[in-house]
Each structure stands twice: as structure tokens, then as C-alpha cells.
Amino acid sequence: MNLLVLGPQGAGKGTQAKRISTEYGIPHISTGDMFRAAAAAGSELGKQVEPILASGELVPDELTVALIRERLGEDDAQQGFVLDGFPRNLAQAEALDEMLSSIGRQLDAILFFDIPDSVGIERALERARLEGRDDDTPEVIKRRLEIYHSETEPVVEHYRVTGKLVPLHAERSVQDVWREIEEALERVGAAA
């Protein structure tokens, strides 16, 4: 099952994507986690992305597309994946669609975590405090939300027309959102 999760910061995408990964035996592919790991490791990619992450801006498309293409080619992603953190703009969505087509794969569902900004900000700040993430300052969170509204929201509409977009009520409890996801994935599995 090839899944994409979309939604603003603090919507619970990562939490639910990890659970989908565990329950369905497919890898959770988080570009943010991969970029942070590269920065922490001091790799060449890490040196390129560290100042970008610190400013709250988006990593350039060509770096992100190359990273995702490589990751989807690994053995554990052959039976499916949960992609988190990409695409964040229409150009990336088109690049993802093109890349998947070129490797003979397609998205089975796009899970859209819909949440009010105020709830997302509160959750992101709490996550930053709990995880000690210094890239999640109030200013950076606000900037990421601005980018989300201007650049990522059009991606939701791009996928809505495919008939594969599944809106989720992400402001609810983790367990309530999980039940909604399970029901959606049962329908996707039955349709496949």
C-alpha cells in the first residue's frame, strides 16, 4: 500500500504514519527525519540542509526528489510506504507523480490531516519541548505554517481530484484519528 500523508505541522502526521508503518509492515519515510539525521551526521547533504532547516525554509526540490527516489528503491519499500513531509508544493507533487509513474507505482491513498492552525501550533511547540527540537521555535513554526498555506494547500487540491484524498479530522484524539485511518485503509484495501 503506497500512502502519502499531508497536513500542517502539528497535525499528527508523523505519529499516525509511524503507527501505519508498524501495523501494515511498510516503512515510514519522513523527509524531515532524513534531513535532520543527515544534518546531525554532518554528511555532505546534512551540511547543505542544516541552515535551511534552521531558517524554517524548504529544502530545494532537487535535493528532496533525489532523496525520495533513492529511498523508494530500497528493499523494504517494495511492498509499500507511508511518505511524510513530501510533497510540499505543486512542483514536488508533479515530480512525485512522475517519479512513481517512472518506477511503475502509484499512490493508493492520500491521507489529509485537517487541523486548525491554533491546535497545530500548540502541538508543535509541545513536541519541540518534549523532543528538544531546536528547529521548532515559535517563529519557525509560524513561518512553516505560512509556507504550508501558500505552497502545500494547493497540493491537497491537486490530489483531491484523483478521488484518492481521504480527509481526516486531525484535531481529535490520537485514537479517534487512528480509527478513522483504519476505516479508510480498509476501504482502500477492499478497492485494490
Residues with catalytic roles: 13, 88, 127, 133, 144
- Secondary structure letter of residue 75 according to DSSP: G
**CB-CB contact of 105 with 2 (8 Å):** yes
Strand ranges (DSSP E) for the chain? 2-6, 28-30, 81-84, 109-114, 165-169
**CB-CB contact of 79 with 61 (8 Å):** no
**CB-CB contact of 120 with 148 (8 Å):** no
